[in-house]
Amino acid sequence: MGQGLLYTGSYASREQEGVKAMRLQGHDGGLTERSGLAGIHHPSYLTVNAAGTRLYVVSETGAEPGSVLGYAIHPEDGALTLINEASTLGGSPCHVTMDATERLLIVTNYTGGTVSLYAIQEDGSLALADHKAHEGRGPRDDRQEAPHPHSSIIDAANRFALVADLGTDEMVHYRIDHEAQKLVRHHATKTAAGAGPRHMAFNSAGDRLYVVHELDCNVAVYSYDGETSEAALLQSVSTLPEGFAGENTCADIHVTKDGRYLYASNRGHDSIAVYRILQDGQLDRVEIVSSGGRTPRNFAISPDGQFLLAANQDSDTIIAFRIDAATGRLHATGESFETVKPVCIVFQ
């Protein structure tokens, strides 16, 4: 089997190698490090272009404006050369998304309550093109006292960008004006009060939207109309076992490329919830398995669908699982990679 190149982000300090290029070993899910990059404070979330020549990473600072950095990827060892750095005009930038044309980049600022849009130039550099501020709040004083955009996702037609706002309990839908390089607010889809929508995933057909709620620990299933960007709730399912009474917040969500399985992570219960996707797009829970460490803030599925890699932030490990193609169940391979506070994994 072949090997896959991937990058990891982290809550490392500026002095530590917070971004690493690695190879996935196709026979067991083991990781080998190819190169590392220091000099960025909390390089928490990353995205890579389709050709594997550019990487973009946010520096997740606190109340002060954060930054987003663009890098050229060296083809031999995955090493990174800085192209440019731009302010995100908001604190705690925690997510970055590229559109299908790879000409636009969206950054969500958790503390700032804002969304920034960048034009990607021919040389890969970033130029601020638009900036949107969210308004409102949710019912919880501890986490929803203000808007907290946590992630964005772009639909299959590359027409609309959806932003999950944990603070206001809604997904804000923006029409992408590609010619003007602007985000035009279209409407918003409200979640349950106090849900705290965090990350999103589409199915392979693009007509089902899955949203993991950080605060109420549910996955919501929506039908999605690509023409109008309307989302209608179909189902809400828990990520936790019955009777669990401990503290927990959900983090990440992914759908396999073949559209058969969905996975969501629990922090506190420290587990991955596994679901089978039914014919109508709704979910049937298969199992909940330990993530093999503490605080699985992020995880990734290998492009061939054979492995799931869980980034356990508070145990400084990435744990490899083999995905059972017949059932979607996860089986730990025994492979573990130690790295400081991993919080993002992206495959090239």
pLDDT band at 55 (very low <50, low <70, confident <90, very high): very high
Instruction: Say which amino acid occupies 61.
Output: T
32-41 per-position pLDDT tens digit = 999 999 999 9
CB 186 within 8 A of CB 199: no
Q: Considering its fold, how many domains does the chain have in total?
A: 1
Q: CATH number, domain at 203?
A: 2.130.10.10
pLDDT tens digits, residue range 86-103? 999 999 999 999 999 999
For 318-330, what is the mean pLDDT?
A: 98
230-251 tens-digit pLDDT = 999 999 999 999 999 999 999 9
Q: What is the mean pLDDT of residues 44-54?
A: 97
- Compute the CA torsion angle 339, 342, 345, 348 (nearest 10 deg): -40
pLDDT, residue 1, reads 30
Is the pLDDT assigned to residue 62 strictly greater than 90?
no
- Find the mean pLDDT for residues 16-27: 95
For a pLDDT cut of 90, what percent of the chain falls above it?
Answer: 95
Pairing of strands 160-165, 170-177: antiparallel
pLDDT digits (tens, 9 = 90+) for 66-88: 999 999 999 888 999 999 999 99
Instruction: Give tens-digit pLDDT for 125-171.
Output: 999 999 999 999 999 999 999 999 999 999 999 999 999 999 999 99
Q: What is the pLDDT of residue 64?
A: 84
* pTM given for the model: 0.97
User: Which residue in 247, 245, 326 sits closest to 286, CA to CA?
Assistant: 326
Question: In the predicted model, is pLDDT for residue 207 greater than 50?
Answer: yes
How does residue 3 score in pLDDT terms, banded at 50, 70 and 90? low
> What is the end-to-end Cα distance of the chain in Å, rounded?
17
Q: What is the pLDDT of residue 136?
A: 98
pLDDT at 77: 87
If you average pLDDT over residues 274-297, what whole number do you get? 98
Our CA angle for 106, 112, 115, nearest 5°, is 20
Structural domain containing residue 22:
4-347
